[in-house]
Chain A
């Protein structure tokens, strides 16, 4: 592409539709690929974006993004780019890359390319206008696609993690026949408390539990709603024929329970998990004895 090309469409330029101009500018972008890509990379470095990546990774990713970008301009289909953007997001999200960085680099590339188009078509303002008419919507669509893909991917990761946390947060563990342990770790909100009750009641049914030790050592605090919910859980378990021993009540939680006037007489509480297990074994009629172990050494 030289001045000759531009000059050879002096009048046609005004009538050329976008789809005829695009191949021309795609060819231009392909031709100056190395130069434009380097310029873009240095702009990224100046803007201190993507500093979580090594220079080598940067070079690889910028090349891929550049090629994808040009390909979208050429084909008008964002599917491949979408796929690439998701894939890229999946790789960089765990490394703490922020939304503004991703959007930032795409916008930088858009500017770098626009600048080169200005330079190329500066002699023919009308043609430049048309080139930009063809270029800008496509470029905006690309920026939009990348940003949306990144955010989508991030939300997907967040949802996945939330699900994982929810699953993990309330394990119901059988420790002996008919004895369950329910360790509660982390902040209890109403949602979790409700889920906990459901899992516990189903657990009692499936494991035919008679005694449940609910250990709340790991719960920093409970509010009134949750405290009442715990009491309801204890009551519901009792209706199913299981008794609940609560262990590890922190001083704060104990105060909350008393302050809100929860009927504590029905609640069997024991200081720590060890004591709770001993009490549970007593209720179930286990007697634990310690036998002398021969000294190996």
Chain B
């Protein structure tokens, strides 16, 4: 288990957790991020999670699978996940390599992600995917 300084800062904003990935994560750091986040969702009784990947210029298949895993775990713990800030190059590379975000909502940036979560809170059933 990686014990160095965390490369992902997880901030609490009301009932939302904002996790900013500050740089490229290796596999063990990714795993640590997952453990930390799932733990904190319970600690803070978070209803929404925003994962900001704007600093990443590469997202490999392990990374995107882990993000999907985190979203699924978060859902089981009662929180909705939105991935924000995917760069144009990253988005293009991901679809070229056949990776996707599964059922996770995505949004342009933090602001959009927060707006999406707010809509979900207001209309639990009405809101659709992140893009809408």
Give Cα A211 to B92, complex, Å: 17
Shortest Cβ distance from A176 into chain B, in angstroms?
Answer: 16
How many residues of chain B are within 8 Å of chain A by beta carbon? 22
Give Cα A198 to B100, complex, Å: 18
The segment out of B7-15, B16-24, B36-44, B104-112 that lies at the interface is B104-112
Whether A201 lies near B92 (C-beta < 8 A) is: yes
Shortest Cβ distance from A177 into chain B, in angstroms?
Answer: 13
Given A201-B88, A202-B88, A210-B131, are A242 and B108 neighbors across the interface (CB < 8 Å)?
yes
Given A198-B88, A201-B92, A204-B88, are A240 and B132 neighbors across the interface (CB < 8 Å)?
no
Q: Is the interface of B mostly helix, strand, loop or mixed?
A: mixed
Contact partner of A240 (CB less than 8 A), chosen from B96, B100, B108, B129, is B108
| Nearest CB in chain B to that of A242: its residue | B131
Give Cα A197 to B94, complex, Å: 13
Contacting residues of chain B (70-96) with chain A, CB-CB under 8 angstroms: 84, 86-92, 94-96
Contacting residues of chain A (190-235) with chain B, CB-CB under 8 angstroms: 197-198, 201-202, 204-205, 208-211, 232-233, 235
| Nearest CB in chain B to that of A232: its residue | B95
Whether B112 lies near A198 (C-beta < 8 A) is: no
Residues of A with C-beta under 8 A to B94: 236, 239
Shortest Cβ distance from A224 into chain B, in angstroms?
Answer: 16
Q: Is the interface of A mostly helix, strand, loop or mixed?
A: helix
Whether B132 lies near A239 (C-beta < 8 A) is: no
| Nearest CB in chain A to that of B111: its residue | A208
Whether B108 lies near A239 (C-beta < 8 A) is: no
Say if the beta carbon of B130 comes within 8 Å of chain A: yes
Say if the beta carbon of B101 comes within 8 Å of chain A: yes
Whether B132 lies near A283 (C-beta < 8 A) is: yes
Residues of B with C-beta under 8 A to A137: none
| Nearest CB in chain A to that of B82: its residue | A241
Shortest Cβ distance from B63 into chain A, in angstroms?
Answer: 13
Contact partner of B92 (CB less than 8 A), chosen from A197, A242, A243, is A197
Whether B91 lies near A243 (C-beta < 8 A) is: no
Shortest Cβ distance from A12 into chain B, in angstroms?
Answer: 75
Give Cα A236 to B131, complex, Å: 11
Say if the beta carbon of A149 comes within 8 Å of chain B: no
Whether A232 lies near B108 (C-beta < 8 A) is: no
Shortest Cβ distance from A266 into chain B, in angstroms?
Answer: 10
Whether B96 lies near A241 (C-beta < 8 A) is: no
Shortest Cβ distance from B65 into chain A, in angstroms?
Answer: 15
Residues of B with C-beta under 8 A to A208: 108-109, 112
Say if the beta carbon of A238 comes within 8 Å of chain B: yes
Residues of B with C-beta under 8 A to A233: 95
| Nearest CB in chain B to that of A244: its residue | B131
Say if the beta carbon of A237 comes within 8 Å of chain B: yes
Binding site for B on A (CB under 8 A): 197-198, 201-202, 204-205, 208-211, 232-233, 235-243, 283
Known: A198-B88, A237-B131, A240-B108. 12 other contacts (CB 8 A): A201-B89, A209-B108, A210-B108, A233-B95, A235-B95, A235-B100, A236-B91, A238-B106, A239-B94, A239-B95, A241-B107, A242-B108
The 9 closest A-B pairs by CB, nearest first: A201-B88, A243-B131, A241-B107, A236-B91, A241-B108, A239-B91, A232-B95, A235-B95, A236-B95
